[in-house]
Structure 1
Amino acid sequence: MRDRLLFGVLLVLSGCGHPVGVMMPVEPAAHAAKTSRVEMLVATNRQPSGDPGILFNGERSPRPFLTEIAVSIPQRREPGTVQWPRQLPPDPAKEFAVARVRQVETLSEATAWFRQHAAGGHALVFVHGYNNNYEDSVFRLAQIVHDSRMQAAPILFTWPSRAQLAAYEYDKESTNYSRTALEQSLQVLASNPDVKDITILAHSMGTWLTMEALRQMGIRNGHLNPKIANVILASPDIDIQVFAKQFVEMGRHNAKFTIFVSQDDKALAISSLITGNVQRLGSVNPADEPYHSKFEQAGITVVDLTKLDAGDSLNHGKFAASPHIVRLIGERLMKGQTLTDSRVTLGDGVAAVIGGTARTIGTVAATTISAPLNVIEDPQKSASQPDVGQTLTEDTDDKLLLR
């Protein structure tokens, strides 16, 4: 009975298929169509596939690889979506297409790439989740960067996921295998003098990898690298008690932590079932105790997306599928700005959860506001808006031990 249940559960996690070999760059003549282009640097500890249409598979490599990739994005498309090619070669006028692939062999080449794409010295590092192959993560980051309009150099860290329904445990072990590779990638990036600050955006099981790498960095050095300014955890697939220990053990830091949660996240409900019915961080209700108080004490901003309908059947990818949220990432959080200042203005019937608490917003008073989030930058309106959040504490000692 349990095996049948788990099979059904894994079936729910399956995604739509697409042609194999989409990483093969299209011919230059195909770019006559009007498209946008996202250029990124991809770091991976996957094994090379030997196939230029796949590049890297889901097996583990003892050494890292760097690749420069450009993705073209069609002009007419629904924000929050990836238009996968229906056949190969793709049609750049209607579908995502790889425009260029170049292996980066030396650190000096990587440094030169960042200098060219510096965007004010801001770097975005994206860490994907479970059941993702190489091209899944490349196209998803391209979509996020394009839709968010962020001004940052996009860097993807893609770890060895087999992208198979029954490979949950393999993927989880791959995140453990990848901790040092991600930590070293962040340290190398931070050592670049052209890098002013780093934002990490991690999704699902990739949040576990991110927290483990940061914890390891904190234990190794006594603190996080000061250039890590912002850590955004979207739908984190982490045991809530384990997260509390990770957060404390990474030591003192100045990074701003933002967590996107949703109590209707079906994928996290499945993960909880597989892992022994333990509460996942990404599905908590930040109004409940002890989460309410602990998040506030820790200075963690929690954004509740439960009532947001982003067209995601599993409610697991709202952070990328919602145009409002992805712009929030690009225009505010990416720059290290909090959601707790008077420049945040809220539309009718739209509010944010700020660390589980909120002050009076116009005529709305609540201890927790759980509604879709829509941040609208409007300097004229914001001048008359009250402060919508509370200043959260900086003390890190035992501040998130949930009992």
Structure 2
Amino acid sequence: MGRVATVLLLASVLAACASRPVGVLVPSGTAGGASEVDLLVATTRAPSTEPGVLFSGERSDELSLTEIVVSIPPEKSRTVGQVQWPKKLPANPEREFSTVSVTPLKGKDDAQSWLKGNLPKSRRVLIFVHGFNNRYEDAVYRYAQIVHDSGTDVAPVIFTWPSRASVFDYNYDKESTNYSRDALEDLLHRAARDPKVGEITVMAHSMGSWVTVEALRQMAIRDGRIAPKITDVILASPDLDVDVFGKQIQAMGKARPKFTLFVSRDDRALNLSRRISGNIDRLGQIDPTVEPYRTQLETAGITVLDLTALKGGDKLNHGKFAESPEVVQLLGNRLIAGQTVTDSDVGLGERIGAVTLGTAQTVGSAASVAVSTPIMIFDPRTRANYGNQVRRLGQSVENTVGSTVAP
């Protein structure tokens, strides 16, 4: 019954998405006070003849490049972390996301011209790879929202692979990621070889994590290393078999990018994926505080942000990384720029993360005192610092309320 309920829930979410108007990528302008996000969109999808759709869920032999400018409505008309989809077409740019322009790019020269015009002073490029059950326009608008709401200083590039956008086409989508890994590897190579680019962060969601990690693994095997300019990899709700991920990481060698994971044990989409994938844990659902994951993550130097306690508007708990204002701010202010998350970024919530990781064995009433934000952090490089913070916190609680927190 649990499996049936999950499938029905997924189907209901899909039905809600299907109620949106089709063809939102037909340009409909912008409005006063709106913001614009200029994206470079690379895809292995086949072109669509349907106006405003641009690309379907079928596969193409060629990598297509398109510049798309998306208008984000004024702040007073929207909630951070949400895409305000048009209720009808043309979109109302004062209240809804709208498309400003669509420009097909032809070849390397056009792509370099876009990069020259959009590369910020940081010289950092952010390449985003979407997940399962995404139409082309879903990926474009969601990424525009992430770029805008995070306020990150990057040249935004999105890689979108052929998804049929149906919960019943899971296997097709998975094979489409395999089909697209060479193209993503090539895109990463192109970006890394451009002398204007300083550093590259790759961020992937859900099933997009598979094609991302596979492309990086292939690069390491072909070239003997991953391009040094690729400094950071962020995997949000990664739909990856944990055993396979361990082998992929090993194949990358020691000189690999810094990996950060967003996990949530209440992710219903990954729960279904686990059931249809041999009942093996998915990387995006692990508890980083328990063995064998704790030691494995520590050995690999992988940082984990546990969002389980974070509440969001996503019924499947699968998109918290993009829908939570706190997490989006972390993405823009720290993680995309390759920086370590600290006290000032998250607050006391990370101390409770350190407590559950074993720096103190008994929390007692410290939990109710310390939790100010439900994001727990497991960062092997700063655990000693967290341990000292927790000991101080425990002593303070002991002195105040008489509870005992073991060091």
1:44 is the counterpart of 2:43: yes
TM-score by structure 2 length? 0.85
2-structure distance, mates of 1:326, 1:346: 12
Q: Deviations over 1:120-144 (max 9, x none)?
A: 2110000000000000000000000
1:34 partner SS: coil
Q: How does 1:69-218 map to 2 (within 5 A)?
A: 69-75=68-74, 76-119=77-120, 120-218=122-220
Q: Deviations over 1:325-352 (max 9, x none)?
A: 011111101111123x5x6454355657
Supply the AA of the counterpart residue of 2:54. Answer: L
2:340 partner SS: coil
Given that residues 125 and 156 in structure 2 are in contact (C-alpha distance below 8 angstroms), is that contact kept between their aligned partners in structure 1? yes
Q: 2:386 aligns with which of 385, 388, 400?
A: 388
Aligned to 1:8: 8
Structure 1 alignment gaps of length 5 or more: 376-385, 391-403
1-structure distance, mates of 2:318, 2:189: 30
1-structure distance, mates of 2:183, 2:353: 34
Q: 2:257 aligns with which of 255, 275, 280?
A: 255
1:388 partner SS: helix
CA separation of 1:264/1:162 partners in 2, compared to 1, >3 Å: closer, same or farther? same
1:387 partner SS: helix
Cα distance, 1:311 vs. partner? 1.9
CA separation of 1:34/1:5 partners in 2, compared to 1, >3 Å: closer, same or farther? closer
- The count of corresponding residues between Structure 1 and Structure 2 is 371
CA separation of 1:263/1:6 partners in 2, compared to 1, >3 Å: closer, same or farther? closer
Q: How does 1:246-395 map to 2 (within 5 A)?
A: 246-339=248-341, 344=344, 346-349=346-349, 351=351, 353=353, 357=357, 372-373=374-375, 387-388=385-386
CA separation of 1:267/1:351 partners in 2, compared to 1, >3 Å: closer, same or farther? farther
CA separation of 1:319/1:356 partners in 2, compared to 1, >3 Å: closer, same or farther? farther
Aligned to 1:394: none
Supply the AA of the counterpart residue of 2:385. Answer: D
2-structure distance, mates of 1:137, 1:7: 22
Q: Deviations over 1:75-98 (max 9, x none)?
A: 120000001000000000000000
1-structure distance, mates of 2:31, 2:97: 14
Given that residues 31 and 73 in structure 2 are in contact (C-alpha distance below 8 angstroms), is that contact kept between their aligned partners in structure 1? no
1:102 partner SS: strand
Supply the AA of the counterpart residue of 2:108. Answer: L
TM-score by structure 1 length? 0.86
Cα distance, 1:276 vs. partner? 1.9
Identity %: 50
Given that residues 300 and 355 in structure 1 are in contact (C-alpha distance below 8 angstroms), is that contact kept between their aligned partners in structure 2? no
2-structure distance, mates of 1:389, 1:89: 55
Aligned to 1:19: 21
Given that residues 352 and 372 in structure 1 are in contact (C-alpha distance below 8 angstroms), is that contact kept between their aligned partners in structure 2? no
Supply the AA of the counterpart residue of 1:188. Answer: R
Structure ID, larger Rg: 2
2-structure distance, mates of 1:256, 1:355: 24
Supply the AA of the counterpart residue of 2:130. Answer: H
1-structure distance, mates of 2:105, 2:42: 10
2-structure distance, mates of 1:126, 1:195: 16
Cα distance, 1:169 vs. partner? 0.5
1-structure distance, mates of 2:339, 2:116: 24
Supply the AA of the counterpart residue of 1:203. Answer: H
2:30 partner SS: helix
2-structure distance, mates of 1:198, 1:20: 33
2-structure distance, mates of 1:370, 1:212: 37
Of the structure 1 ranges 151-160 and 5-14, higher mean CA displacement relative to structure 2 is found in 5-14
2-structure distance, mates of 1:355, 1:43: 43
Given that residues 295 and 356 in structure 1 are in contact (C-alpha distance below 8 angstroms), is that contact kept between their aligned partners in structure 2? no
Supply the AA of the counterpart residue of 2:129. Answer: V
2-structure distance, mates of 1:108, 1:348: 49
Q: Deviations over 1:235-276 (max 9, x none)?
A: 000111011011111223241100000000011001111112
Of the structure 1 ranges 141-150 and 103-112, higher mean CA displacement relative to structure 2 is found in 103-112
Cα distance, 1:109 vs. partner? 1.4
2-structure distance, mates of 1:354, 1:188: 40
2:336 partner SS: helix
2-structure distance, mates of 1:278, 1:22: 38
Given that residues 352 and 371 in structure 1 are in contact (C-alpha distance below 8 angstroms), is that contact kept between their aligned partners in structure 2? no
Given that residues 347 and 374 in structure 1 are in contact (C-alpha distance below 8 angstroms), is that contact kept between their aligned partners in structure 2? no
Given that residues 302 and 356 in structure 1 are in contact (C-alpha distance below 8 angstroms), is that contact kept between their aligned partners in structure 2? no
2:185 partner SS: helix
CA separation of 1:223/1:19 partners in 2, compared to 1, >3 Å: closer, same or farther? same
